[in-house]
Structure 1
Amino acid sequence: MSPVTYAFAVASSVFTLALVVWLLRRGRLRERHAIWWLIASSLALIVSIFPATLAWATSLLGFSIGSNLVYFTSIAILVLVCIQHSSELTRVEAQVRTLAEEVALLRLAVSEPDDPSRSDRG
């Protein structure tokens, strides 16, 4: 690995890790969303500082080229992020549906006050 490539890899990893931490500290990213980004950026930092770990992991896991392992790991992390977001979206949609139903019932109650002449109270 050339010194320029090595420096670029380390700088990119440090920048990504610092960005995720900065977003967490500012409250613009929640912990449960940041966990996969912290894992990915930490792995990238380890591999960029110690490139031999990529060669070791590549041979250990049976990949033919180190970049294939990097791509596979990146895609796996992005799939996990998508699953996490889909799960949260499903939960939020259920909450929104419940709130919309409650608002509709409250609006109905406000627009139709109890009328003693109504005979729907069996």
Structure 2
Amino acid sequence: MICRLEKLLLDWTRARPETEAPLFSGLFLPDTSRAALIENAFAQIARDGAGQIEVAERLRAALLRLADAPDPALAEAARTMAARALDHADAALALESERARLRATGDGISFLP
């Protein structure tokens, strides 16, 4: 689920709506807050998966990649959520070795061109 949400958001940031004809010209949606997109996609996973190192690592890596997104508002929202997810995990993970492993996750991550 985390990977799918990440890909969806990265694809969305790369879309060029001004160069692509809309499929449904009569349909209009107002722009949405980038913070709301990140919050709705990842907040529950950050909270509920905080005690599982595998979930916390995958989420942190995805959020750090989104923090490199070309949309500055989305990137900032991803950085904020990554910090919040780390706080959840610090509180939930029992082992210091897992907390250290999580903090090391994402060192040097930048997969965007």
Structure with bigger gyration radius: 1
Q: TM-score, with normalisation over the residues of structure 2?
A: 0.29
Q: Please identify which structure carries the higher helix content.
A: 1
